[in-house]
Structures are given as structure tokens and as C-alpha cells.
Amino acid sequence: MRDPNWIAAGGAEGQPSGRTAEHRGAADGGESAALLDADDPTLIEACLQGRRDAFDIIVQRHQRQVYLVCYRFVGTHEDASDLAQDVFVRAWRGLRGFKGNSALATWLYRISVNVSLNRVASKAPRLEPLERVERADHRIERADATLLRAERAAEVRAAIARLPRKQRATLILRAYHDLPHDQIAAILGSSVGTVKANFFHALANLKKLLQA
């Protein structure tokens, strides 16, 4: 069930070279280079001491995870990139309030989910356009596995977008980000039992929506 694009918190897989941090850290000599290998709590501490290059590293380390969560909610690259930027700006502003009771990744997930839910609550999701709008007769004529799969994926996205907020968030975090129930509970501020119930009802509702 794990998303192949999932990047573990603190990982650097698939990330750019970190030029921003290196560029900024040039004046600081080897200090920035040392930060590249630092763990998240060390980076947060460095941020609070005024080291902006430490936050650059945090962004590079977690931006994929943040972007993908946002993308799951809003469905377009443009909106997801705007939201991802918003998430990191909020994280920067709230950094002093981060007590370290949970992992930085969990905290960023929480901000991402809240920002995304607020966005989708304020405007209808605008899903990426797909060829699935073609008429059925054309579809039959051009039926190939890739197209049918894309159509089905679009239907699933549309159905997920119609789920209640908590069920939607739970399903996305569980199915697409493969997060354990207790971490989802920490992100959503609920109990593990509630998370399991939400996941169950999300699937039950999706079944109805996809059959409709």
C-alpha cells in the first residue's frame, strides 16, 4: 500500500542538490555543510537561532511529502505547489510553538492537512483535466489499458473529494502515504479508534460513490 513516492521524514531521496542552502551557507563555511546531515530537532534549533539555511534544509527534506499531501486534496499541480509553499511559511512562523512532542514530519503533515482542508472548504476542488470526458463511443473505440486506468483514477479522485473531511484525510494519509493509525491520529488530533472508524466509513462511502 505504500506510495512509491513516499519519502521518509528526514530522508533526502529524490531531492535536489540543496543549492539554496549551500548557496546561502557559503558565507558560513562548513557550518551549513554540517547542517545537511543534522537531524530535524537540530535543524529546528538552528532555525530558532537565526539560521535560515537550516530551514532551507527542512524544506528540501520534507517538501515532497508536503506537496503530495496537498496534491491529494486539491488535485492540481498549481494549487498543490501554492499550498505547499503556504505550509512551509506557516511552519516557519510557528516554529517557536513546535514543542517537539511529535516528529517534525507529523507536524508538517498536520499543517498540510489543515491548510488543504481549509482550501477545499473554501472552493470546489479543481481536478486535473483528463481525457476521460470523452464520449463513451470514442472510449470504446480507443479503449486501451492506460486510458481506462486514467479514467478510473479520475473517478476515484472525484469520489474521494466528496468524502467528509476527516474520512478524506484519513483515507489519503492511510492509503496513499501509508501512515500508521497512531500517526494519523496524532496528525488529525483524534484517537486511533476514531481513525480506524473513519477509514472504515471512508471505504464504505467510497464503495457507494463509485457504484453510483
Which residues are at the interface with another protein (CB under 8 A)?
A: 1, 3-5, 14-17, 19-20, 24, 47-48, 50, 52, 55-56, 59-60, 63-64, 67-68, 71-72, 77, 81, 84-85, 88-90, 92-97, 128, 149, 152-153, 156-157, 160, 171, 175-176, 181, 193, 196-197, 199-201, 203-204, 206-207, 210
Of residues 84 and 187, the one with the C-beta less far from another protein: 84
Cell of 14: 529524490
CA-CA distance, 77 to 144, in Å (whole number)? 26
Smallest distance, another protein to C-beta of residue 142, A: 19
Cell of residue 147, nine digits: 486510458
| Shortest separation between residue 38's beta carbon and another protein, angstroms | 16
Helix (H) or strand (E) holding 165: helix 165-171
Instruction: Report the residue number, 19 or 162, with the smaller CB distance to another protein.
Output: 19
State the Cα–Cα distance between residues 160 and 154, nearest whole angstrom.
10
Q: How far apart (Å, rounded) are the C-alpha atoms in residues 67 and 85?
A: 9
Q: Is 6 exposed, middle or buried (0-12, 13-18, 19+ CB in 10 A)?
A: middle
- 3-class DSSP state of 143: coil
Kindly state the smallest distance separating residue 140's Cβ from another protein, in Å. Answer: 20
Residue closer to another protein (CB basis): 82 or 102: 82
CB of 66 to another protein, least distance (A): 9
